[in-house]
Amino acid sequence: MAGSVHRPSGVDLRVSVGTVRLKNPIIAASGTFGYGVEFAHLVNLSALGGIVVKGLSLEPMAGSPAPRMCETTGGMVNAIGLQNIGVRAFVFEKLPELRKYDTAVLANVFGRTVEEYVEVIRILNDAAGLAAYELNISCPNVKQGGVEYGTDPVLAAEVTAAAKRASRRPLWVKLSPVVGRIGVIAKAVEAAGADAIVAANTYPSLCLDPHTRRSRLGSTTGGLSGAAIKPITMRLVYEASRAVQIPIIGLGGIETAADAVEYMVAGASAVEIGTAHFVDPRASERLVETLDAWCRVENVFEISSLRGSVRD
């Protein structure tokens, strides 16, 4: 397993997400940490359990018009629009730098068709330095009239199965929170070959300016994240962990060590940190240290022992 067996404190923060072994359960979430290398002058990237890079598409994307962010009570709404440099530029320009750091690097993958997902993965397969792929299925399938893969069990299974066939690495599937029963979608992607589930993406939202009567975002709607969503998303993690046998990665509103622990108790093997980076770019690194301290105070010497320990 990555990293030393014990930290100087005596606490073992190592976790496993299937065959992906992490030195600690703190992962920087996609879309909140650039491609990782942009934060290297501020953050000790090697201290993190992992980094999920910005979503990668087959071709570069310009993203949504400005403004792209709106602060809300207990969180923020963003409409970045999946802006990225494209998978080929990532492989040649960003990944070589990321290989210098002792942390697991995960590529977030998306497409508008199953074929695009598969082609992005095939390009990444030939690149060294990646631990796994995170499949963003909260994308509209243009062949199905814009229906999101993540809200339809059949479409979710279809894109997961195709990605799994193409992939030479473990496949994590990032689910949409906008489903009636997340267990149904979770079971569908598990049966299609997913190695882990990430729960969950942001919540579709709208912010209006009462004076102009227009959206505060250039693309009208966006995705809500931050502390406000934590109890809702934690329920999704709890329900998903009881529906499937594969590991769960939880994210949504994590700001403190206690937040991370709560997700693990609910059933998560690891957690991703997102919105907190907009307040403090070093949020993930600080969480590693405060999580170690929390474990010492609570006499928890193996962080993995917390997973799924909720008392019903």
Residues acting as catalytic residues: 139
**Residue 68 contacts residue 224 (beta carbons within 8 Å):** no
- Residue 265's contacts (CB-CB under 8 Å, 6 or more residues apart) are 306, 307, 308, 309, 310
**Residue 157 contacts residue 109 (beta carbons within 8 Å):** no
Angle in degrees, CA 253, 54, 170, rounded to 5: 90
**Sequence-ordered strand ranges (E) for the chain:** 15-17, 20-22, 26-28, 50-52, 69-72, 75-78, 104-109, 132-136, 140-141, 147-148, 171-174, 196-199, 203-206, 208-209, 214-215, 221-225, 248-251, 270-273
Distance CA 51, CA 131 (A): 10
